[in-house]
Structure 1
Amino acid sequence: MKNLYSVLSSVSIHHLPKLVFAFSFLFLLTPSITYSQNKENILEDSYTSYFNAERETIYLHFNKHKFLLNESIWFKGYIYDKKGDIPFITSSNIYVSLYDKDGNTLKTNLYYAENGTFSGQFKVTKNLASGHYFIKAHTNWMKNFQEDESFTSETLQIINPNSETNEVIENNTSTFDLQFLPEGGHCISDVTNSIGYKIINCEGKGLMINGQIVNSKNEIINTFKSNLFGIGKFDLHMVTGESYTAKYTINNKNFETKLPISRPIGFSISLNNYTTKLITYLTLKTNKNTLLKEAGKTYYVVIHQNNKSSVINLEIDKLNLNHVIPIDNKKLPIGVNTITVFNDQLQPLLERLIFNYREGDYIKTNLTAKPISNDSIPIHINLKDNSNVAFSSNISVSVLPAETESLSTSRNIISSIYIDPYINGELENANFYFEDVNRIKSFHLDLALLTQGWSKYKWDNIKKGTQNLIIPFDKGVTINGTINETLDPKSKYQIQLFSLVNNINETRPIGEDKAFNFDNYYIQDSTKVHFSVFKDGEKIAQPKLYAKVLNKDRSSLNQIFKSPNTCSIIESNQVIELTKYADIDFKGEVLDTINLYSKNTVKQKKQENVLKYIGNAYSKGIKVGSDQERAFPFIIDIINANGFTARNDVGRITIFNRQPVSFLGSNSPLLIVDDVNFGRDYQVLTSMRTNEIDEIYFNKSGLGYGSRGGAGVIRIYLKKDLGLLSDNSLARYANSLLVSGGFADQKEFYSPLFYNKSNHLFNTYGAVDWQPKLISDKNGNIQFKIKKPDADRLLFIIEGFTVNGKLISEIKEFSISKNTNN
């Protein structure tokens, strides 16, 4: 069977039907192939073909998990190839949606992924009430599969002191859910069964519990005690016809729960993969009646993960009441492996998930800091794969005060890649299981998987084999349209698509059907693209055409969205503390706002965009009026009067910062018009007059824009009837299309200024820094700077993967005073 497996794994999906037919025909002509071997083939072939297609797993690393009004929820996305165990580079279009606690979609953004990663953010606006929210990430390719392969975040809490309703935490510890779960799925009479249990409160968090197991005569048969996470297991010999009850106490109240009833015929299993690192022991248990009833039959144990599977034959006549099967862990893939027991009719009877740790599969980091310089701290991270450097590793780092209450450790990239895709629920307390792994950690992780039940992948789907892949990978943004003109059949027509902000200038022929297509372009959301039509090389004035964006279905997967359990929203004392800071945001922090050449005591008009972007708070803001329009007729003139040198050399615009920036860096500022970032392309300013401008902000230092604003930033807001997104804009172009559904802008991290007003607020909820795009050099080194915070102790939450797919997940506490020489 090994040879057949190797053949099938090397052919394409298109060849499988022919191969299946060929093998079926071969089986008809070859009586020597036994019935048992045929069933082995069916099992292995089913797993191979069902998981033959590429499958991707997405993980989002959030900078934190509690957010205040006017903050942003920052995240970095990692896409992983489940079969290849490497970064998944095929996907480029990633849809990320924000949901409320009831599963209602509030907003969906499209993000561009490159080399298996992407980054983005959602702004916490005033219309988001205090409460619990969730973020889901998926691709359209995922919709090909029966299972929900998308990523759903843990609870993200928003605190908005201006909310009309702020619910208060209540004492819900009396609300709990306790389940007793036979290992593998069933209890069998006259067999010592292994029974797992899990108790959670209304928020889905585990409760510690201990109790007794009694029989129908109220005799104590066994005792049980959970671990810190409300999970445990015990062995119980269940006698035919007897019933069993668990008795326990919670909050001084006595409770009873009936245990599952044992079956007279069947099998149960017990696994041990934590006593030794080398071997997993599978014990198949049954009674004499089962061995007599099933005599002469062959059962099958299948160990599988994705398209990898191995089949073990179980001849019932050779089994004893406790049949032990040793499994070599070295031959198991890393992560969750599923063990399924099938009967002779290939019906699954029992199933158990186990986790296979492998030493050296996780990358460790070494974090150091250099002496503080200019109020910033240089941070150095070194990555090593065993003794070798981990070059070209892609990581994200969140830096929080050590006293923070805004960090959840429920999940990390390891649990999200290696465990979450295979289970129906969620693995909590992920960091516990993957920090300083030892035999005890292995035991507790095994308990957690025991109580997860059966795998997410159902045999009823798997046995159908190859899936119908009707939805292709989504690539970029596509625009199509039609020319509404009578075309001369003797002439050649072309259409040009161009956009300065998106750096597009493409031409396509127009056929007899008058249709045109521009496929798979990177186009930012809410930006305009423009069309010109040419007849025999001559531009047509004001052509009539219709164009639209082919927006793929952005909705999440067909499966019902399941919100994690929540029973609390926000403490009343949090609301009281935040209320006095609710309206601070950027008010009172605006710098150098002036009114130029105001000779008369005319009241300055209010600047409407001063709060729109954090960088405006550090800028010289001008509300353009009649005085400025007379003094500076063209935009070039007003730029020259405010710290920059601007020239118009025969239609070519150049702008320079008069302050020295650096020896190597560009001395040209960023240009942003109506929130559209033109970078250092200033041609949109050609012939632009000052009377077209509503407000302009000059930021010579680039504060608020990160490294991209090192040479300064000029931010312009046009009058509403002339804005880049208005109907009257760029009238010189033949036709324009406002792209709705393009890629979301990937902004740079900033910390709201209101955190400067309260050290307690900052230490509880604030973020020191967020670095989503760090890549190690050839020596495995990464360097960046953070602003020196008031807090001395910091947490560095590091997530990522290497170019060959090894995962990185660590939380390091760091003392500034101990690690820097001031």
Structure 2
Amino acid sequence: MKFNLTLCCSLLLLQSFAQTTNNQTKITELLENYFHFDRENIHVQFNKSIYVNNEDIAFKGYISNKTTHLPEINTTNVQLVIYNEQQQIIQKQLLYAYNGNFEGGIHLNDKFPTGKYFFHFYTNWMNNFIEDESFIQSIEIINKNEPYHLKSKQPNWETAKIALFPESGIIINETSNKVGVQITDCNKKGIEIKDGTVINSKSEIIARFSTNAMGNGFFFFIPVVNEKYTVKIKSDKINLSQPIPNTQYSGITISYNNNLANNVLAVIIKTNETGVKLYQNKKFNLVIHQNKNLIQKEFAFENNQPEQIIRFSKLNLSNGVNTIRVIDEDLNEISQRLIYINTSSKPITSLEAKSIKKDSISLSGSSNIKDANLSISVLPKDNINTAQNTSIIGTFYLNSYLAQPEKETYSYFDPENKNQKQDTELLMLNQLQNKYKWNDIKLNPPKSLHPFLQGTTISGKVEKKINPNSKYKVSLISLKNKIFLETTVNENNDYKFENIFARDSTTFFLQLTNEKNIPVYSKMTVRIFKPNSKTISPRTWDTIICPLSQKEEVFTFSNSNKDVINLDDIIIKNTFKKTNLIHKEGNNFATAYKINEKEFGSILDFLGRNGYRTGYNPTDNSVFIKNRMSDIVRNTDGTPDVFIDDVIIYDLNLLNNYNIEEVDEIYIDKMGSSGFSTGGNGIIKIYLKAGTNKDFLKTKLTSFVLTNGFSKAIEYKNSKFENQKELDYFGILDWSPNIEIKDNSTFEIKFPKENQKEIKVLIEGFSNDGQLISEIRNLTIPSNP
């Protein structure tokens, strides 16, 4: 029997080709399956980062699709959970997003103690993924009654430490290795050093390195197994040493040249002589990908060459962080490396500030992008908040792919930073890995178990017996919010309204109509699906409190009662005007309240501030009003009689339709002496202002209050400070969260000058086609001509 060598070689080649082709197909399928479901990116700009506890916190959020990088128009429900430093939940809000944008805020008060607070933003859809896709921003709140230590711009030298990052995670014997170095303090602030050294066990210097302003650097060296190497840094401020990880006999590392002409990327796969022998006759796939967008190529260590160079066009790669992986024949990951690809052009923006008369500033701007939505915060030049640390570009294209997100990203995308590319490449070296792990990609593709929540769902049952064949309908009505929806009643007397977008504490009415569209009264039960998504466990954050530096300036706020001027002669003029109560007659035994413009909130809020317990019953979402002392003194839980314009109301939900601004007078008689009290629990009489809509009072429909709806937007106001220094350090001049640019048009905002000669403008935003803007501009205010 003759042996056909040619045929055998051909079969082996075909088998090898088939295996390679099959592996490449499998890799493509794995990535497509793992990133089949679209993921969201969230970035939030706060108007500043340090607040006195009598100010308003305001923020603007942006949501993009992680695959298309376009605004995520499908997201409407964004959950916010606020934590303190002890990771205790302080507050929750459900925020309404539209066309990839949302905004919100909170009014601070003296109940917020000094400390750091963490704002955690996420959606219910994010629960489908094992990776954390949420966004966390830390802010600081300070009590103006306590001294405040201004943060030093210098690192905390005493807490400096070294971290080492061998390229691809390993150090290989008897070949040139690249090792990243990172030096930071307890605040994760990078430390720049000029002369670091690498020594062997004989204390001989075998390499030198430096670090940049972010604390990142690198060095090359050729190690041998069983030798000990140490990184040393010694200066007048720090004295540190860190052992280098042990050298491996063999392995595979990944390097690259990202600076070639014509958008060419050269990837270098490297081993040593031991590795060449170990990997003979083995095929590998080099994969570069971001999400499911990938390019791949087969390679082998042929001709006894320990280095293989493979070139790609960067035009086929996605903008931002990409992952380079070496995958073996069994689809195991052998090596990994991160790379940042920058293929996008930056929008061109212009800003100009000028004085208007003596008391105002006009800020005008334009951009070459179309259909953009921006948020702008304007601060005094000396404000301690002006060191912007985060960037929407850094969130969407950098941190969203890192296992350990960077605390400060703005420097890597600062137009004024001439070393952006070098700094970004050093950052990529000093990262452990992509947050999307290969074993998860192989074995744990996500499942759609948590839906995209859009608004809330209201459902229930009609108590009236209805013929199963009849076509009864239920209407959902909110007169104040101009909502009128209809749905059919099914054979089980059930009704359902889905995707209801309404603010928290909105009063709704339900009306039943028959086939002839004639209203028919019937009680109806109400079930409200809580749209608050499942709470995502937030990323753990550092709770290390850095020691105070002696060089830190201590700032003390002014006390309005501190400076008192004694006058020799005081003349007092009585300017008191008697309050004109219109409805006092007949309410002589009641405490009267004339509502003025200083009052705020709802009627329930007002009653809660004046001796009552108010809220919503968890069982049926109905309003309750109770005397605070009723349970203790009378052993009852009665409700006072409530009148609006001298007409008793039996449905307390109707109160929720009115804000306190629509009320003229309120009379509270807790003993019921001013009239007949049906339940003996007192009387509350409310008189509305002339012209207020009273249609709410005429209905006899089933009512309920929607709880757990979207949070009401705050009416943001700048706080006043006692003196110019406080304003310059902590104040804000203007916050404009919704600036729209249409067809290259300009925009203009105006705000009080507050004696400012220079200002800092913080701009963030994105356009409908996914272009991002993130800039800080320093502007001088020209004097009036």
TM-score by length of 1: 0.76
Q: Write the mapping of 1:519-668 to structure 2, written as runs, cut at 5 A.
A: 519-534=498-513, 537-541=517-521, 543-557=522-536, 559-564=537-542, 566-568=544-546, 577-578=556-557, 580=559, 595-597=578-580, 613=600
Question: 1:407 maps to which residue?
Answer: 386
**1:123 corresponds to 2:107:** yes
Deviation of 1:130 after TM superposition, in Å, equals 0.6
Alignment counterpart, residue 771 of structure 1, candidates 728, 731, 736: 736
**1:424 corresponds to 2:387:** no
**1:106 corresponds to 2:77:** no
Q: Go from structure 1 to structure 2 and tell me whether the alpha carbon gap of 1:535 and 1:574 turns closer, same or farther (over 3 Å shift).
A: farther
Question: 2:619 maps to which residue?
Answer: none
Deviations along 1:82-119, one digit per CA (max 9) or x if unpaired, are: 21121111111111221212333221211111111111
**1:184 corresponds to 2:168:** yes
Question: 2:632 maps to which residue?
Answer: none
Deviation of 1:732 after TM superposition, in Å, equals 4.1
**1:138 corresponds to 2:122:** yes
SS at match of 2:42: strand
Deviation of 1:570 after TM superposition, in Å, equals 9.3
Q: Go from structure 1 to structure 2 and tell me whether the alpha carbon gap of 1:482 and 1:133 turns closer, same or farther (over 3 Å shift).
A: same
Alignment counterpart, residue 747 of structure 1, candidates 691, 711, 714: 714
Q: Go from structure 1 to structure 2 and tell me whether the alpha carbon gap of 1:370 and 1:816 turns closer, same or farther (over 3 Å shift).
A: closer
Deviation of 1:778 after TM superposition, in Å, equals 2.4
Alignment counterpart, residue 738 of structure 1, candidates 695, 699, 705: 705
One-letter amino acid of the structure 2 residue matched with residue 761 of structure 1: E
Alignment counterpart, residue 278 of structure 2, candidates 274, 293, 306: 293
**1:43 corresponds to 2:27:** yes
Q: Go from structure 1 to structure 2 and tell me whether the alpha carbon gap of 1:229 and 1:489 turns closer, same or farther (over 3 Å shift).
A: closer
One-letter amino acid of the structure 2 residue matched with residue 263 of structure 1: Q
Deviation of 1:412 after TM superposition, in Å, equals 0.6
**1:332 corresponds to 2:324:** no
Deviation of 1:400 after TM superposition, in Å, equals 0.7
The separation in 2 between residues aligned to 1:720 and 1:562, in whole angstroms, is 49
The separation in 2 between residues aligned to 1:750 and 1:571, in whole angstroms, is 34
SS at match of 2:713: coil
The separation in 1 between residues aligned to 2:561 and 2:156, in whole angstroms, is 29
In 1, are the aligned partners of 2:505 and 2:656 still within 8 Å (CA)?
no
Alignment counterpart, residue 271 of structure 1, candidates 248, 256, 265: 256
**1:397 corresponds to 2:376:** yes
Deviation of 1:177 after TM superposition, in Å, equals 3.4
The separation in 2 between residues aligned to 1:764 and 1:675, in whole angstroms, is 42
Deviations along 1:464-509, one digit per CA (max 9) or x if unpaired, are: 4753212221111211122334445576543222112322122323
One-letter amino acid of the structure 1 residue matched with residue 433 of structure 2: W
The separation in 1 between residues aligned to 2:562 and 2:685, in whole angstroms, is 30
Q: Write the mapping of 1:277-356 to structure 2, written as runs, cut at 5 A.
A: 278-318=263-303, 320-356=305-341
One-letter amino acid of the structure 2 residue matched with residue 510 of structure 1: V
User: CA RMSD for the aligned pairs?
Assistant: 3.8
Q: Go from structure 1 to structure 2 and tell me whether the alpha carbon gap of 1:189 and 1:523 turns closer, same or farther (over 3 Å shift).
A: same
The separation in 1 between residues aligned to 2:506 and 2:254, in whole angstroms, is 60
The separation in 1 between residues aligned to 2:66 and 2:336, in whole angstroms, is 21
Question: 1:10 maps to which residue?
Answer: none
Q: For structure 1, which segment, 37-46 or 429-438, has the greater mean C-alpha deviation from structure 2 after superposition?
A: 429-438
**1:758 corresponds to 2:758:** no
In 2, are the aligned partners of 1:186 and 1:350 still within 8 Å (CA)?
no
Deviation of 1:544 after TM superposition, in Å, equals 2.9
Deviation of 1:266 after TM superposition, in Å, equals 0.9
The separation in 1 between residues aligned to 2:89 and 2:166, in whole angstroms, is 37
The separation in 2 between residues aligned to 1:737 and 1:179, in whole angstroms, is 58
**1:474 corresponds to 2:453:** yes
Alignment counterpart, residue 790 of structure 1, candidates 730, 755, 762: 755
The separation in 2 between residues aligned to 1:66 and 1:593, in whole angstroms, is 40
The separation in 2 between residues aligned to 1:438 and 1:205, in whole angstroms, is 17
Deviation of 1:797 after TM superposition, in Å, equals 0.8
Q: Write the mapping of 1:221-240 to structure 2, written as runs, cut at 5 A.
A: 221-240=206-225
One-letter amino acid of the structure 2 residue matched with residue 567 of structure 1: I
The separation in 2 between residues aligned to 1:345 and 1:370, in whole angstroms, is 66
In 2, are the aligned partners of 1:270 and 1:284 still within 8 Å (CA)?
yes
SS at match of 1:317: coil
Question: 1:484 maps to which residue?
Answer: 463
Q: For structure 1, which segment, 54-63 or 420-429, has the greater mean C-alpha deviation from structure 2 after superposition?
A: 420-429
Aligned length: 684
Q: Go from structure 1 to structure 2 and tell me whether the alpha carbon gap of 1:312 and 1:393 turns closer, same or farther (over 3 Å shift).
A: same
Deviation of 1:338 after TM superposition, in Å, equals 1.1
Deviations along 1:198-255, one digit per CA (max 9) or x if unpaired, are: 1221111112344321112222211222212211110011112212112223765643
Deviation of 1:52 after TM superposition, in Å, equals 2.1
Deviation of 1:284 after TM superposition, in Å, equals 2.2
The separation in 1 between residues aligned to 2:665 and 2:249, in whole angstroms, is 89
The separation in 2 between residues aligned to 1:539 and 1:162, in whole angstroms, is 60
SS at match of 1:341: strand
One-letter amino acid of the structure 2 residue matched with residue 184 of structure 1: S
In 2, are the aligned partners of 1:423 and 1:456 still within 8 Å (CA)?
yes
In 1, are the aligned partners of 2:371 and 2:741 still within 8 Å (CA)?
yes
The separation in 2 between residues aligned to 1:33 and 1:269, in whole angstroms, is 24
Larger Cα-atom Rg:
2
Deviations along 1:416-445, one digit per CA (max 9) or x if unpaired, are: 111111002223443322233777321111
In 1, are the aligned partners of 2:287 and 2:324 still within 8 Å (CA)?
yes
Question: 1:435 maps to which residue?
Answer: 414
Deviation of 1:47 after TM superposition, in Å, equals 1.3
In 2, are the aligned partners of 1:427 and 1:448 still within 8 Å (CA)?
no
Deviation of 1:269 after TM superposition, in Å, equals 2.6
Q: Go from structure 1 to structure 2 and tell me whether the alpha carbon gap of 1:313 and 1:609 turns closer, same or farther (over 3 Å shift).
A: farther
Q: For structure 1, which segment, 215-224 or 242-251, has the greater mean C-alpha deviation from structure 2 after superposition?
A: 242-251
In 2, are the aligned partners of 1:532 and 1:733 still within 8 Å (CA)?
no
Deviation of 1:172 after TM superposition, in Å, equals 5.7
Q: Go from structure 1 to structure 2 and tell me whether the alpha carbon gap of 1:199 and 1:566 turns closer, same or farther (over 3 Å shift).
A: same
Alignment counterpart, residue 63 of structure 1, candidates 25, 47, 55: 47
TM-score by length of 2: 0.79
Alignment counterpart, residue 358 of structure 1, candidates 343, 350, 354: 343
Deviation of 1:579 after TM superposition, in Å, equals 6.3
The separation in 2 between residues aligned to 1:443 and 1:320, in whole angstroms, is 29
